[in-house]
Amino acid sequence: MSEILRARGLTKSYRMGRTTLEVLRGVDLSVEKSEMVAVVGASGSGKSTLLHLLGCLDTPDRGEIFFQDKELTRTDEATKAGYRNASVGFIFQFYHLLPELTALENVVLPEMMRKTTWEWAVQVSEVRQRGLDLLQAVGLSGRAKHVPGELSGGERQRVAIARALMNAPELVLCDEPTGNLDSRTSREVVDLLQELKTSLGQTFVIVTHEASLAERADRVLRIQEGLLAPVRVHELA
């Protein structure tokens, strides 16, 4: 395997009134292509902060992030936006689907955003077909025309997963992807993520508090006191 993502010496703090809260204190991380890495830790330990930094949704105070050996932290906003749109897929706990759009329209939205009006007019049929293929891959081929309000929580998360894969990203970042689901649906989503890793060779970094998800990863790291350390599966309970 080859390294796809590397973080070196990441620090992040926030001002809270007169107090400075140090969240990350020098995080180092390396992720290999087609690897599934789970990051666990207590609530407020900095798991989501780390994920947001890796996705260039936020900026570290210090440190560097490299994607495919290209340094990201010092690049301009246009470059970071291109990285987020073309190279990274995001899956969040609360889905973040647009309520007025159908499942299919939500899935193809990332591709629509990266095209000019002319490109979209020419390629709309091709893009829609890819969206339908992704919905089929996540088991929702019969729900393409339904809006989010007509879908269950598990179905909405499957739409969100399909959307994250729309632009064929090299990396998918997941922030508590099963945190808003019941136990049965959570297991189904975990199975789906594992299946996508196996069938597509997809690379995942998953922030989670659920041992059942973390133990399915290739590697588990715990964030504690602002630093990352490896965790054995039997230590998750």
- pLDDT for 185-221, tens place per residue? 888 888 888 988 888 889 999 999 888 889 999 999 9
Q: Give the mean model confidence (pLDDT) for residues 86-97.
A: 89
User: Between 65 and 237, whose confidence is greater?
Assistant: 65
**Cα-based angle 9, 83, 87 (whole degrees, multiple of 5):** 105
User: How far is Cα 225 from Cα 26, in angstroms, rounded to an integer?
Assistant: 10
Q: Give the mean model confidence (pLDDT) for residues 35-57.
A: 92
* Residue whose structure tokens are 């993520």: 193
pLDDT beyond 70 at 1: no
pLDDT beyond 70 at 133: yes
Q: Give the mean model confidence (pLDDT) for residues 69-91.
A: 91
Counting Cβ atoms within 10 Å, is residue 128 exposed (0-12), middle (13-18) or buried (19+)? Answer: middle
Radius of gyration, alpha carbons of the chain: 18
Show the DSSP H helices in the chain as ranges. 47-54, 77-86, 103-113, 117-137, 153-164, 183-200, 211-214
Per-residue pLDDT, 172: 94
Angstrom distances, CA of residue 91 to CA of 1, 211, 230, 235, 236: 24, 18, 23, 26, 23
Q: Which of 22, 74, 69, 78 has its CA nearest to residue 49?
A: 22
pLDDT beyond 90 at 173: yes
pLDDT beyond 70 at 53: yes
pLDDT beyond 70 at 233: no
Per-residue pLDDT, 185: 86
Side chain identity at residue 230, one-letter code: P
Q: Reduced to 3 states, what is the DSSP secondary structure of residue 16?
A: strand
pLDDT level of residue 83 (50, 70, 90 thresholds) = very high
Asked if 173 contacts 54 with a C-beta cutoff of 8 angstroms, the reply is yes
User: Between 1 and 29, whose confidence is greater?
Assistant: 29
Q: What is the mean pLDDT of the chain?
A: 90
User: 175 forms bridges with which residues in the sheet?
Assistant: 92, 207
Angstrom distances, CA of residue 146 to CA of 35, 159, 178, 187: 33, 11, 22, 23
Per-residue pLDDT, 54: 96
pLDDT tens digit string along 138-171? Answer: 999 899 999 999 999 999 999 999 999 998 899 9
As a 3-state breakdown, the chain gives helix, strand, coil percent values, each rounded to 5, of: 40, 30, 30
**Cα-based angle 46, 180, 222 (whole degrees, multiple of 5):** 30
Cβ contacts of 188 within 8 Å, gap of 6 or more: 154
Per-residue pLDDT, 79: 92
* Domains within the chain, CATH numbers bracketed: 3-87+169-235 (3.40.50.300), 94-152 (no CATH)
Output the pTM of the full model.
0.89
